[in-house]
Amino acid sequence: MPTYKTPNVYVEEISTLPPSVAEVSTAIPAFIGYTNKAVKGTTDLTNQPTRISSMLDYETWFGGAPDSISSITSITNPTPEPPLKFLMYYALRLYFDNGGGSCYIVSVGKYKDEDKKNVVKSQDNFQKGLDELKKEDEPTLIMLTDATTLSATDYYTLCQKALMQCSELKDRFTVIDLVKKPTDDTKSKDDVEYFRNFSLPDENLLYGAAYYPYLQTSLKYKYTDEQLKTVLDNVKTDEEKKQLKANIDKLSVVLPPSAAIAGVYARVDNRRGVWKAPANEGLLSVIGPVVKITNEEQENLNIDPDAGKSINAIRSFTGKGTLVWGARTLAGNDNEWRYVSVRRLFNLIEESIQKATMFAVFEANTALTWLKVRTMIESYLEGLWRQGAFAGATAEQAYFVNVGLGQTMTEQDVLEGRMIIEIGVAAVRPAEFIILKFSHKLQEA
């Protein structure tokens, strides 16, 4: 209480409401890859994580699509050769089409350098971008879509580093694509087995999820009149030029699924909540998966008793379109962290409460402070429970918050400046297998 020395009427405002938990964002992906340019005004944005909210922002600061059609030579089957080398532009379009919102771009280089020579995509450049991303607090998803054109070894090594960053910071999650295994690999029978044989530390698997296969999108290749003229100049007759031009308008882009998945994460989080599994959700701007997966084939993807690296399938169903048909993290054999929604819900709760309790640092480690902290956390968790984030018919069944001397702390803890808070929540888990049991009822009359 202040000391008053002059006679007067003084007003004091007394705070009676406890502090509250401000919830952090849950689906803010950071796309790491190559761009046409990287400049905002006079500022070079290379390896500078930059927040954007639309494709207009992206095109303004990072430019447009790479040259995709100049390598076309076939008239009847005008597929670009080699296939797309830079995927960032089209991945962003697929992300926004599927419900994505604000995101971060980390440009690790440009399509072409100043000498107009093709840049060489390297794991080191992506690693630099990943290291810079570590300094940013807001991103919650690490996207390596553009890195899928690296060799399989380099790409999965990069995924290792991304999962390690997620495990260290505990506020983000990595979405992984399955890429083709090396041609000289004779130990693995297919891409799935190669991925599972690749060394990914078990303690980091709960911070990532893998999706398969690639997607045939409805996105069309973007090209300039000059690029089209270059292609048509290689054709002799007017009839062939007409046919080739007509076929190029029909081309659609094939992309890894991770960008669309990030959009689904954002869409589900906004509509239902992060605790809803991002599965049984339709993919937009997608014609279908490039590989059709049967129930029997998905058994081996979803559950693996040896490596435990679950792979979420993307499948087409008659009358329903293309759906995400899996909701598991890479820790598929872990009862605690098996599901993507459970891991991301805990990411949300942990970071939100961590930031909200900063006010208590250096406060008196006494019962009054403990009461403020417990009340604040309980109020936040009750709100989540009422929204359906937790299982339990009552609040007591859904969560608990303990803090206090003799409960979570000893006298020695207080002397050493530690305030220990125990929080437990009964996270809802998706109904992955719906089992209907039918039987004959015996005639009674």
How many structural domains compose the chain? 1
Q: Where on the phi/psi map is residue 58: left (φ > 0), alpha (ψ -120 to 50), or beta?
A: alpha
**pLDDT beyond 80 at 258:** yes
Looking at residue 10, its pLDDT comes to 83
Looking at residue 239, its pLDDT comes to 86
Q: pLDDT tens-digit profile of 151-161?
A: 999 999 999 99
Q: Closest Cα to residue 118, out of 67, 64, 54, 55?
A: 67
- Residue 443 has what DSSP assignment? P
- Residue 431 domain-assigned (yes or no): no
Better-predicted residue by pLDDT, 185 or 101: 101
- Residue 95 domain-assigned (yes or no): yes
- Residue 15 domain-assigned (yes or no): no
Better-predicted residue by pLDDT, 441 or 35: 35
Give the count of beta carbons closer than 10 Å to the beta carbon of residue 209. Answer: 28
C-alpha dihedral sign at 244, 247, 249, 251: negative
**pLDDT beyond 50 at 114:** no
- Residue 372 domain-assigned (yes or no): no
- Residue 8 domain-assigned (yes or no): no
Average pLDDT, the chain: 90
**Amino acid code (one letter) for 429:** R
Looking at residue 347, its pLDDT comes to 95
- Residue 360 domain-assigned (yes or no): no
Better-predicted residue by pLDDT, 228 or 256: 256
**Amino acid code (one letter) for 365:** N
How does DSSP assign 206-250, residue by residue?
GGEEEEES-EEEEEEPP--HHHHHHHHTT--SHHHHHHHHHHHTT
Q: pLDDT tens-digit profile of 388-406?
A: 999 999 999 999 999 999 9
Looking at residue 116, its pLDDT comes to 53
Range of the domain at 91: 29-272+279-326
- Residue 134 domain-assigned (yes or no): yes
E strands of 111-162, at which residues?
Answer: 141-143
| Rounded distance between C-alpha atoms, residue 139 and residue 141, angstroms | 6
- Residue 394 domain-assigned (yes or no): no
Looking at residue 196, its pLDDT comes to 92
Rounded to an integer, the average pLDDT of 279-296 is 94
Percent of the chain whose pLDDT exceeds 90: 70
Looking at residue 115, its pLDDT comes to 45
Percent of the chain whose pLDDT exceeds 70: 97
Q: pLDDT tens-digit profile of 223-234?
A: 888 888 888 888
Q: CA gyration radius for the chain?
A: 26
The CATH number assigned to the domain holding 69 equals: 3.40.50.11780
Q: pLDDT tens-digit profile of 125-163?
A: 999 999 999 999 999 999 999 999 999 999 999 999 999
Q: pLDDT tens-digit profile of 38-94?
A: 999 999 999 999 999 999 999 999 999 998 888 887 787 778 877 889 999 999 999
280 falls in which pLDDT band (50, 70, 90)?
very high
Q: Which residues pair with 331 in a beta bridge?
A: 309
342 falls in which pLDDT band (50, 70, 90)?
very high
Q: pLDDT tens-digit profile of 415-435?
A: 999 999 999 999 998 876 767
